[in-house]
Amino acid sequence: MTTSAHYSMAMDLMRSGVPVQAAAAMAGVSSISVAALPVSRPSRPSYVPGPRFCQPVKSLPPREPTRHPTTPHDAVIATVESVARRYGLSAREVLEKCNKRHRAYARHQAMAEVQARFGLSLPRIGAIFGGMHHTTVMEGIERHHARVLWGELLIAAGGVR
């Protein structure tokens, strides 16, 4: 086999996708001289997925119910009702979205008591109170605590009897 035949064999191997070093070794020529050959290599080899990718998708098992349902249990409702009675409202009026001050104050106090008694997370309390964002719940609880502190300061200063 002549040298030109070796180079043409290396070029054919490289066109089929064999790396330069391997093609040079198979053809029995220097890899440096083979790398200098003007070979038009395929720009992108065609991709055929293997058999493990062509299998049908299995149906997923049914989802388990969530651990904490969005509906509150009776003790939380009882806490909301007791706060609502103190403000002269119903539990429904406390839970629904309304920006009137006396309802908002009752709702803030109910959120603070629910968090203190049951230790629920802010997103969970927000779900109970009509799908509120957890930052809204946090703000309401903070405002309630600020009102309580302000009232205690007024009583201590002798301004309110």
Other residues' Cβ atoms within 10 Å of the Cβ of residue 123: 13
The verdict on residue 41 lying in a domain is no
Sign of the alpha-carbon torsion through 61, 62, 68, 70: positive
**How many distinct structural domains can be found in the chain?**
2
3-state secondary structure of 89: coil
Residue 59's pLDDT is 61
The verdict on residue 31 lying in a domain is yes
**Cα–Cα distances in angstroms (integers) from residue 137 to residues 41, 112, 118, 128, in the given order:** 64, 9, 15, 11
Residue 60's pLDDT is 60
User: pLDDT in tens for each of the 161 residues of the chain?
Assistant: 557 777 777 777 777 777 777 777 777 777 666 666 665 555 555 555 555 545 555 566 666 655 555 556 788 899 999 999 999 999 989 988 888 888 999 999 999 999 998 888 999 999 888 889 999 999 999 999 999 888 888 888 876 65
Indicate the Cα dihedral angle 15, 19, 20, 21, nearest 10°: -150
Residue 34's pLDDT is 60
Chain centre distance of CA 154: 45
Vertex 94, ends 92 and 100: CA angle to 5°? 125
Same domain, 82 and 148: yes
Same domain, 80 and 150: yes
Domain with 19, as residue range(s), is: 3-35
Whole-prediction pTM value?
Answer: 0.55
Residue 86's pLDDT is 93
Residue 112, CB half-sphere, CA atoms under 13 Å: how many?
A: 17
The verdict on residue 134 lying in a domain is yes
